[in-house]
Structure 1
Amino acid sequence: MNIERNNAHWLALQQAFDTPWPGPSDESVILKNENLRLLIDPQDGARIVSLCAFGFDVLRPWHPERRAFQYGCFPMVPWVGRLGNATLKMGNKHYALPANKPPHALHGMACYSLWEVVKQTNKTVVLRSQLRNPWPWQGDVRQVITLDGDTVLLRLEIHSAKESFPASAGWHPWFNKKLDPKRDEQELCVEFTADWQEEPGDDELPTGKKISPQPGPWDDCFGFNHGIHATLNWPGKLSMEMTSPAPSLVAFDKQPDATCVNPLSQAPDAINRDPQFVSPGEPLVIESRWAFKAE
């Protein structure tokens, strides 16, 4: 592992979300069975670099023009999306975090943190990262990725070593709109029935007010009273059912080649409005199931 090389890029990413990024390393973990094959890179933010289902690559790949937050599927911890004014509020204390998309802090710390492989088989990998500066509290994050037949099981845990602190977690996948971009084919269709939508503010943050779900195109967060259930369909080729007990989902479909469907433990910046707390022995946990079916 080239720590010096990574440190330079990690420091740059804390300054600017669109800094040049080296992409995946050559030390990826492979999970595979008859119909699924995943590449996970511990050096690249514990990211799923590629996910091949029934012979189709469903995630947007890296290329030299991509930035850290623009490909594959990476975990967002210990906050998700935009953290308002790069400030975490806990009671009467305010903690400054890297404003890499000024004035906000974007997408947590996973992409600029060191991860290690704790356990690995052909069907499961467990990765762990220590919570370090600039996060104010001690603890660790664990990501578990498992293949169960034609389903990918995802799990994130945030653990506290000593004190209680607020946290949130989720994933940021980029799904290809076309499975074969060189052919004239129908694009990815994403369907879900949300119970509400987070009202977007003029500062790129939810206001905290719930409104009726609006039609796309989206760069929005939606809420679910009984957990997430979304269907992704590439007509005539492949479908995927995304489920999670979690209540929040961000959908972003304004780029020409890929769509984000992000399961989250809570809405962006809700960590400051309605925090979920992690305590020693009581981790924050989020899980999601991605069940694939060939058409």
Structure 2
Amino acid sequence: MENETKLTAGDAELTLQPENGCRIASLKVGGTELLRQGDKFGAFIMVPWCGRTENGVFRNGGVTHQLPVDAPPHAIHGTGRHTAWREAEPATATTAAFQYELKDPWPYPGLVTQRVELAPHSVKLTLGVETAGDSFPAQAGWHPWWLRNLGRGGQDVELTFSAAWQEERGDNHLPNGNRIDPRPGPWDDCFGMPEGVDVALTWPGEMRVRVTSASEWAVIYTEQPEAVCVEPQSGPPNGLNTLPRLVTPIDPLEISTTWSWQTIG
């Protein structure tokens, strides 16, 4: 793809595609690709909402808004992944920052910025959401597709994490308001981690990646054979309605996550 931005630190290489939702298209360590490849994969940004919003409808005070229903009957994963982002500041060998303006079909003007800081053994990602006018509820997070198998003859990835609860899903695929003890996978589920997201992905004898965030919410998705997803986010699915976090002129939304890695074996 044209206009890719490549960062390198040590033997880590990260490729951003600002015109394709500012997604991380590739993350290689020692030449080994860690992310599922393809225009819809890599690691994309969820903003200004994460996961499904029920029937594409959310309320801000007494005003009801309808979002495009792109995962019938719901709206899913925000508008940022469908948008071309522009450079927010000049990139260096290890850092980059991009942004885009919130506009239709999102009903409130604002600005979203992603900053990427690559180091030899980690990458830190930061998302900020600012309003350009009225306050509005918003969410932000990341949806990385980690390869289930690194393709070098090794074993499939193993996930390790400790959650205080799992959001029980209703028939509509949304949290129903009940918090339950975490259940065994496969998952397409939201977990609560009040002390911060901390999930380890281990490809035995090959690589270990740790996904951390000060946020307490993560969706974990393991229902496809090609990849698994560990999604740190600022609130649960349908959170625009159930746990709204207002972005105000004096209180923008900011979330960060760090992905660190080490080779093993």
Q: What TM-score results when the alignment is normalised by the length of structure 2?
A: 0.97
Q: Do the aligned residues in 1 keep the contact of 2:10 with 2:119 (CA within 8 Å)?
A: no
1:37 equivalenced with 2:8 (yes/no): no
1:278 equivalenced with 2:247 (yes/no): yes
User: What per-residue deviation string (whole Å, max 9, x for no partner) do you get for residues 132-168 of structure 1?
Assistant: 1111111110000111331100100000111111000
Cα distance in 1 between the residues matched to 2:238 and 2:162: 23
* AA in 2 matched with 1:186: Q
**Which range moves more in the overlay, 239-248 or 109-118?**
109-118
Task: Give 2:3's match in structure 1, choosing from 15, 20, 27.
Answer: 27
Deviation, structure 1 residue 257: 1.2
Cα distance in 2 between the residues matched to 1:158 and 1:272: 18
Q: Do the aligned residues in 2 keep the contact of 1:208 with 1:270 (CA within 8 Å)?
A: no
Could you say what secondary structure the match of 2:154 adopts?
Answer: coil
Sort the Cα spacing of 1:159 and 1:148 in 2 relative to 1 into closer, same or farther, 3 A.
same
1:78 equivalenced with 2:54 (yes/no): no
| Superposition pairs of residues 96-245 of structure 1, within 5 angstroms | 96-119=66-89, 120-180=91-151, 183-245=152-214
* AA in 2 matched with 1:162: G
1:55 equivalenced with 2:24 (yes/no): no
Could you say what secondary structure the match of 1:292 adopts?
Answer: strand
**Which range moves more in the overlay, 85-94 or 197-206?**
85-94
Cα distance in 1 between the residues matched to 2:62 and 2:251: 24
Q: Do the aligned residues in 2 keep the contact of 1:114 with 1:130 (CA within 8 Å)?
A: no
- Give the root-mean-square deviation of aligned CA atoms: 1.1
* AA in 1 matched with 2:25: V
Q: Do the aligned residues in 1 keep the contact of 2:155 with 2:204 (CA within 8 Å)?
A: yes
Q: Do the aligned residues in 1 keep the contact of 2:167 with 2:190 (CA within 8 Å)?
A: yes
Task: Give 1:253's match in structure 2, choosing from 222, 247, 256.
Answer: 222
Q: Do the aligned residues in 1 keep the contact of 2:154 with 2:203 (CA within 8 Å)?
A: no
Deviation, structure 1 residue 271: 1.6
Cα distance in 2 between the residues matched to 1:255 and 1:146: 29
* AA in 1 matched with 2:242: R
Deviation, structure 1 residue 280: 1.1
Task: Give 1:94's match in structure 2, choosing from 55, 64, 88.
Answer: 64
Deviation, structure 1 residue 184: 3.9
* AA in 1 matched with 2:70: N
Structure 1 runs (4+) deviating above 2 angstroms are none
Cα distance in 2 between the residues matched to 1:112 and 1:59: 19
Between Structure 1 and Structure 2, the one with more strand by share is 2
* AA in 2 matched with 1:172: H
Q: What TM-score results when the alignment is normalised by the length of structure 1?
A: 0.87
User: What per-residue deviation string (whole Å, max 9, x for no partner) do you get for residues 183-220 of structure 1?
Assistant: 54210111100000001010011112211111111111
Could you say what secondary structure the match of 1:111 adopts?
Answer: helix
* AA in 1 matched with 2:230: V
Aligned residues: 263
Could you say what secondary structure the match of 2:255 adopts?
Answer: strand
Cα distance in 2 between the residues matched to 1:202 and 1:219: 13
Deviation, structure 1 residue 92: 2.4
Q: Do the aligned residues in 2 keep the contact of 1:37 with 1:52 (CA within 8 Å)?
A: yes
Deviation, structure 1 residue 56: 1.3
Deviation, structure 1 residue 229: 0.7
User: What per-residue deviation string (whole Å, max 9, x for no partner) do you get for residues 68-94 of structure 1?
Assistant: 3xx100000000011110011122221
Using the aligned pairs only, state the percent identity: 39
